[in-house]
Structure formats: structure tokens, C-alpha cells
Amino acid sequence: MQRNGDSTTPCVALLSEVLDMQYLAPAFREACPGIDLRLGAELGPLEDIEAAVCWFPPHGQLAQLPKLKLVQSLAAGIDHIVADPQLPRERPLCRIVDPGMATGMKAYVSWAVVQRHRGMNAYVASSAAGRWEEQDVVSPRRHRVGIAGLGTLGMACAEALAGIGYQVRGWSRSAKEALPPGVVAFHGAGQLDAFLSGCDTLVCLLPLTPQTQGFLDAALFAKLPRGAHLINVGRGDHLVEADLLAALESGQLAAATLDAFSQEPLPPDHPFWADPRILITPHIATRTDRLVIAQQTLANLALLQKGERPQHQVDLERGY
Ligand code: NAP
């Protein structure tokens, strides 16, 4: 904190190599009028900066902040921060957990499952052509949706999908005790094949870690029921892109709905754009409320100032 008359003013840097972080400034000023915000090329005296809010921070920049107390992701994931080889790993690294983010993800995943299962894309075409044309209606009770990653967001989606009648299963690293009604859980490598064999739709909501990179590959697709639908709302690097194209070509997968990509924006000449079986959205499945980012950052900094543990600190050994 910087001394400013009698009061103290937090000094927070907004760091990103890919995003104009100016968009967060009004929320930080609303949460803390008078805050010392640093962003852009000129960060001013680096020894003032106590917290850094990050989305793909420039590699090496965090290591240059001598008084840094908090590294705060502006999102649920932290893969974009741990990719920095010079990350000061001894500083607490926190992620945002926001009920509003879970709400957005529930809506997106429910839409993605329903639009494919109910053939909504066909109605868009028939409506435009003025044709009264029914698609098969298969009861959701006969459609199995599997969610890989049964954490904050995966569990919320599992509950929502079970609530509209789908047969829902989830898979996580550790066993789950408390599950929403109608949701069945699998865990660990030993139960992965059993989980996959019952996924007419597979939703990826894993964090990106060394263990989950390339999770969505040919070997995994081969274990799904033939004609499955893949929804990737995790990270682009969960998916082996060439394996997806091959699985669609062979009919092992019928369709994919993708919200995250290894390269964002997805380049205009990328083969995914031209494949009618792939529905692309530009990483919009859900967003974190700006004020929540500001409030959680400032609350975490205050906790650290008091010598207390911040909220939603990431376990760097586990990787998420
Ligand atoms: P979270 O609460 O940390 O949950 C992660 C889940 O993945 C947990 O159930 C965890 O198992 C499981 N998991 C992790 N590593 C695993 C492994 N090796 N094998 C099996 N299961 C594993 O994360 P979250 O808040 O739900 O967010 C999940 C991810 O969603 C984020 O990391 C981010 O990549 C993505 N996301 C995308 C968007 C978007 O707009 N597309 C927005 C927000 C987030 P345990 O329960 O046993 O720990």
C-alpha cells in the first residue's frame, strides 16, 4: 500500500500481452476510488506494485515486481500465467470464482447440448427456406451427456443438464461425494474408459495442465459411442485438432461445438471454419464480471496484508 495522507492506496498492475486491459480500469476505480492503477507500456516505479491482475502477462514481467504480494488471474483458469517460465512461484496465485461465471457457462453448455440433440441447426435452415420440417425428437432421458471436469463450472453444468432431463455423468481427478440429483460420477484414469463409453455428448471443462493437454485426441474419441458430439469449453490445447478432423471424417464423431482454440482468434484459413460439422464460438462461453474481478483482487490483497490466506488460491503443484 502506498501512503497517501492518512489513508493507504493499493497499487495494482493490469498485465496482458494480448488484451487491452484498460477495459478493467473503471471497475477497479468503482471498487476503490483513488486506487493506484498501472497498465500499458509504462508501469511507473515497479516497487510500488502489490498485485498484478493477469491475462497472458508478458513473460518475465511478474518477476520484475519486487514487492508483488498477489498474482491474480482475471479468469477461472491460470494456464495463461503458469506458461511464464519466470513466474515467481512463491507468490500466491489466485483465480476468480464467480457465481455469474457459472451461470453463463450453464447457459452456454445447455444451449450447445440442446441445439445439437434437438437438431436446432436444421430448423435455422428450414425456417429460412420457409419449410415446415420436423426433426426427430429423442427424449433427453435417452441422451447421455458426460462432463470431463466436475469442478465449479462442470458441477453447475451437470446440475443444469440433469434439471432439463438429460442423463448426466461427470469425471474428475478425485472422487465426489455430494452430487446433484441425477448425476453419476467417475474419477481417475481407472474410470475414464467407463465414463467415455456412455457419453453421447462429451463436454470438456477441465483446466489446462500438463496432464490434460491433448486430452481430446484420437484414442479418446475411439472410446466414445459412435456419432458423439464434442463440446470443448475448456482450452484450445485440450484438443488435438487433426484428430478431431479425422474423427469427423470417419463418422466416429458427428459434430463439434468449440469455444476455445490453440490460436485465438482462430486464423481465417483454419480448416475448422469450412467444416459444417463444427460450430465455432469465439471464446464467449462465459465471462467474468469486471467488478467481481476488481473486488476479489482487492479483497485478496487485503487478506494478504493482514497475513491471511487469499481466496481461491491455486495449488501450483496440482496445476489448477
Ligand atoms: P475447477 O473448479 O478447478 O475444476 C476443475 C475440474 O477438473 C475438477 O473437477 C478437477 O478434479 C478436474 N480435473 C483437473 N485435472 C484433472 C485430471 N488430470 N483428470 C481428471 N480430472 C481433472 O475449474 P472450473 O472453475 O470449473 O474451470 C474449468 C476450466 O474451464 C478452466 O480451467 C478454464 O480452462 C475453462 N473455462 C472456460 C471458459 C470459456 O469461456 N470457455 C470460461 C471459464 C473457464 P477434482 O474435482 O478432483 O479436483
CA distance 100 to 36: 27
Question: Cβ(118)–Cβ(144) under 8 Å?
Answer: no
Q: What is the pLDDT of residues 112-136, one digit of tens each?
A: 999 999 999 999 999 999 999 999 9
Name the band, by pLDDT with cuts 50, 70 and 90, for residue 3.
very low
Q: Does 204 sit in the ligand 1 pocket, CB within 6 Å?
A: no
Contact 19, 265 (CB under 8 A): no
The CA 46 to ligand 1 mean position distance, Å, reads 33
Ligand 1, atom 4: nearest CA belongs to which residue?
A: 151
Residue with C-alpha cell 500466491? 92
Per-residue pLDDT at 144 exceeds 50: yes
Average pLDDT score over residue span 38-65: 97
- Please compute the mean of the pLDDT values over residues 153-182 and round it to a whole number: 97
Q: Kindly report, residue by residue over 303-313, the tens digit of the pLDDT.
A: 999 999 999 99
CA of 57 to the centre of ligand 1 (A): 21
Asked whether residue 2 carries a pLDDT value surpassing 80, the answer given is no
The stretches of the chain forming alpha helices (DSSP H) are 25-31, 79-82, 99-117, 120-129, 152-163, 192-196, 218-222, 241-250, 271-274, 290-305
Q: What is the mean pLDDT of the chain?
A: 96
Q: Is the pLDDT of residue 5 over 50?
A: no
Distance from the CA of 205 to the center of ligand 1, in angstroms?
A: 5
pLDDT at 4 > cutoff 70: no
CA distance 230 to 113: 9
Q: Does the Cβ of 153 fall within 6 Å of ligand 1?
A: yes
199: cell is: 457419453
Report pLDDT digits (tens) over 19-29: 999 999 999 99
Q: What is the pLDDT of residues 248-295, one digit of tens each?
A: 999 999 999 999 999 999 999 999 999 999 999 999 999 999 999 999
Q: Is the CB of 312 under 6 A from ligand 1?
A: no
Q: What local confidence, expressed as pLDDT, does residue 192 receive? A: 98
| Ligand 1 atom closest to Cα of residue 75 | 43
Mind listing the domains of the chain with CATH numbers?
A: 2-98+288-305 (3.40.50.720), 101-280 (3.40.50.720)
How many whole angstroms from 44 Cα to the centroid of ligand 1?
36
Q: 1 pLDDT exceeds 80?
A: no
**Residue % of the chain over a pLDDT of 90:** 97
Residues serving a catalytic function are: 235, 283
Q: Which residues pair with 51 in a beta bridge?
A: 12, 70
How far, in Å, are 47, 114, 167, 291 from residue 159 at the CA level?
A: 46, 15, 11, 26
In the structure grid, which three cell numbers stand for residue 301, read together? 490483497
Cα–ligand 1 centroid distance for 123 (angstroms): 33
CB of 150 within 6 A of ligand 1: the answer is yes
Could you read off the pLDDT of 37-50 as tens digits, one per residue?
A: 999 999 999 999 99
Q: Taking residues 226-251, what's their average pLDDT?
A: 98
The CB of 244 under 6 Å from ligand 1? The reply is no
Residue 8 has pLDDT above 80, yes or no: no
Mean pLDDT of the region 188-206: 98
Average pLDDT over residues 96-117: 97
Cβ atoms 12, 39 nearer than 8 A: no
* Cell of residue 212, nine digits: 490434460
Given ligand 1 and candidates 206, 215, 266, 315, which is best to mutate, with the most ligand atoms within 8 Å of its CB? Answer: 206
Q: Which of 153, 212, 281 to mutate to test the pocket of ligand 1 (most atoms within 8 A of CB)?
A: 153
Task: Give nearest CA residue, ligand 1 atom 8.
Answer: 151
